[in-house]
Structure 1
Amino acid sequence: MVEKRTRPQDKIRCDACPVLCYIADGRSGACDRYANHDGQLVRLDPLTVIETTEQKLVPFLGDDATDWDGDIVHSGQPFITAVGAGTTYPDYKPAPFIVAQQIDGVDMITVVTEGIFSYCGVKVKIDTDRHIGEERDVVRVDGEPIGHVMTSEYGSKMLSLGGVEHLTGGTKAEGRITCDALLKLCNRDAVEMEIGEHHTRLTIQAGRAPIIDGDEERLMRVGCGSAAIGMFARQWFGHADEVVVVDDHITGVLSEHQAGKLLDVPPTGIRIHGRRSTPGRY
């Protein structure tokens, strides 16, 4: 005989998604979107409506455009965002906010729902030449894994943070710490983290130099040796017979490089002891 489950005392059942949480008074459900407030199911994220914007918008049609004033969100009328508008996923119930309006005599119906946080992630580009960890090393915040080190791109170190494995695939603490770190990074706040078994300490913040093991970065190469020659060959031309840009990725030689050939830089006889990739690139 199967025992019939009864509703826990002093709890309400949320039907916003198939999880059907029982929520005690003063607590939130598993999604952290709905809560029990004095026996009433309430949303924790308020619906955000933008009526005006103080952001400086950049007209993508140019300054000479006469048929558009640069207003992206039509700030003269309410602009409904997805923040606080939807519910969890998968969801059989319709979105709780459906907006209707007329534009040029045409009835427009807008259904707004928010993207679920378990799909969210951030790709972080760190401008540093210093070694922060091996590829695939785990990135941790407060001891919880939130991502990993990726392949370097254009000389910068790259991190992949967030995603479903960390937000909902691990413990609840891991998911909350991952979500908190993503929100801080996207809001231009500083986040402290550790990388790999060597526990490299890293503090990153949008628009600020990274702090690695307590030292703030001051300088960074603008590219590999080949890239440097491509950018600065004309400035060097006439001031030096030869320029060799030594780099741990690609070392460049001006007279052999394509940039040097286009400037008619004569060969100097200097040879690099190493494996040549293409002319002027080792």
Structure 2
Amino acid sequence: MCYIADGRSGACDRYANDGGQLVRLDPLTILRQRAESGGEVVPFLDKEWDGDILPSEGGFVTAIGAGTTYPDYKPAPFIVASTVDGVDMVTVVTEGIFSYCGVKLKIDTDRHLGDECSPVRADGEVIGHVTTSEYGSQMLSLGGVHHLTGGSKKEGRVTCSTMLALCNGEAVELAIDGGAALKVQAGRPPVINGQTEERMRVGCGSATVGMFAAQWKGLVDEVVVVDDHITGVISEHQAGKVIGWAPTGIRINGRRSTPGRYFQVADPGTGWGGTDLTDPLAILGAFDPKVAWPGLSLLMVSTTGEHAAYFELDEALLPVGKDMPARLAPSVRRIADNCEPALTSVLFMAGAGGSLRSGVTEHPVGLTRSVQGALTYVSCGGAPVYVWPGGGITFMADVTRLPRNAFGYVPTPALVAPIEFTMRAEDYRALGGHMDYVMPLSEALEGKTGRQNDHILKGRRGVQPSSGNPWPTGPDNFPWRRHSA
């Protein structure tokens, strides 16, 4: 229902009018399989298709650039038949229009980004919220149908454009109400309040004490690992007790959990260990004069090794700052060395619903049950997905495992994402698949389009799958292949 002038592209930037023909602008993307021996990439589609017959082995037609099934009654743009280990297979290839979709962000940081449920904004519009803080990471939930279609037009447009940028590997700027300003990009370190995060913590304060207790024994009298969640104190901790650590009379201002583990030592923030502290001594109470002694040495360190300070008690049993001794510097570096690089993970999440399933089969619930029963393998641009248990086909995909620029949009607003369903031909027939529209893989690789396509494909490109991705028709996805191979 779009009107596109000759020589112009549509509002979605996906289709254009080329001399009266509707042209799909993004090239159809086909994965190139590496030899099982780890040899060279199968050398097809290294250039624009020129009409020559291409090999049918080692290729997988993704839905990137394939087109969509809308309206509902249309079969998927490509329904491709292939033979794998002597078994006839079918892969249904379509781009899905997802109004019901979102993006989940995992941001590796100890810093406090915002309270749970705090709104997350882009360009001033609320597009999501802060969710839980997991082990060294903060989670954000962006998008969803309410932000796409339930608010103002600007909210929907900004939500869609932000998710599209994130899914296509671009950097976006976000602001959390009452919290931090962020610049995030899939597979890159997050930038928090203008500062690039370098390390994900090695563990909570308690875990850090447990990991390094033996290395600190005999070098220092007391160690406190400052952490917004669980601050560890080595002389009280079980790890210290087991190796004979002497009591020091230290007192921590916080809620004691189990021995050597303290909660709520400070408010959340962007300082020491994800607290609001710039001075770690603020969490210390007075040392017990019956146990402590002048000259007692104290190391205070954060869970990433980013912050560290050394103190000794004076005659009044007050900690006095000293230069970091050479004997302790390696242990602080070791904490940092055992931290993983801080990254931003972007997971696209969507529910595959009505028109998409109808493009696969005339009996849509059959596809759902086939996916739930592991008879049908779901991929997203050739990349593996996690399918949530329960009703429907709700899946998540790591956007870094897809070819770049795999996602598009429509002005609904909604995202357009590739999705493929692979199964045995006999299973496809049994669930009411569109058998009249099945085409051999060799024809798809030759450049032919599915007869249900009402547009011309601009071109084709061959890409290597992301390292670590299972091959979509490989034995890892179909257990029966392991026995037949």
TM-score under structure 2 length normalisation: 0.44
Query: Residues 1-282 of structure 1: matches in 2 within 5 Å?
Result: 21=1, 23-25=3-5, 26=8, 28=10, 39-51=20-32, 68-69=36-37, 76-88=57-69, 91-196=72-177, 198=178, 200-217=180-197, 221-282=201-262
Structure 2, unpaired ranges of 5+: 44-56, 263-485
3-state SS of the aligned residue for 1:113? strand
> Identity of paired residues, percent?
67
Give distance in 2, aligned partners of 1:86 and 1:230. Answer: 54
The answer to whether the Cα contact below 8 Å between 1:133 and 1:149 also exists between their aligned partners in 2 is yes
Give the letter aligned to residue 125 of structure 1. Answer: K
Say if 1:104 and 1:224 are closer, same or farther in 2 by CA, change over 3 A: closer
Structure 1 residue 189: deviation in Å? 2.7
Say if 1:232 and 1:187 are closer, same or farther in 2 by CA, change over 3 A: farther
Give the letter aligned to residue 37 of structure 2. Answer: D
Cα distance per residue 1:183-210 (max 9 Å; x no partner): 43344432112221x5843212344443
Give the letter aligned to residue 225 of structure 1. Answer: G
Cα distance per residue 1:56-113 (max 9 Å; x no partner): x9xxxxxxxxxx5369x98852211121335156722210211122233332222122
Structure 1 residue 227: deviation in Å? 2.1
Residue equivalent to 1:3: none
CA RMSD of aligned residues (A): 3.4
3-state SS of the aligned residue for 1:259? helix
Give distance in 2, aligned partners of 1:90 and 1:133. Answer: 42
Give the letter aligned to residue 182 of structure 2. Answer: L
Give distance in 2, aligned partners of 1:22 and 1:219. Answer: 48
Give distance in 2, aligned partners of 1:124 and 1:117. Answer: 18
The answer to whether the Cα contact below 8 Å between 2:206 and 2:230 also exists between their aligned partners in 1 is yes
Which structure ranks higher in relative contact order (CA pairs < 8 Å, sequence separation ≥ 6)?
A: 2
Cα distance per residue 1:118-165 (max 9 Å; x no partner): 344332222334333222222222233322112222243321122233
Give distance in 2, aligned partners of 1:80 and 1:171. Answer: 38
Q: Which aligned runs of 4 or more in structure 1 are off by greater than 6 angstroms?
A: none
The answer to whether the Cα contact below 8 Å between 1:119 and 1:164 also exists between their aligned partners in 2 is yes
Give distance in 2, aligned partners of 1:248 and 1:216. Answer: 20
Say if 1:238 and 1:96 are closer, same or farther in 2 by CA, change over 3 A: same
Say if 1:246 and 1:24 are closer, same or farther in 2 by CA, change over 3 A: closer
Give distance in 2, aligned partners of 1:90 and 1:70. Answer: 43
Higher helix share: 2
Give distance in 2, aligned partners of 1:74 and 1:115. Answer: 29
Higher strand share: 2
Cα distance per residue 1:2-39 (max 9 Å; x no partner): xxxxxxxxxxxxxxxxxxx353545647x775565555
Give distance in 2, aligned partners of 1:169 and 1:90. Answer: 23
More divergent stretch after superposition (93-102 vs 107-116): 107-116
3-state SS of the aligned residue for 2:161? helix
Structure 1, unpaired ranges of 5+: 1-20, 58-67
* Count of residues in Structure 1 that have an aligned counterpart in Structure 2: 246
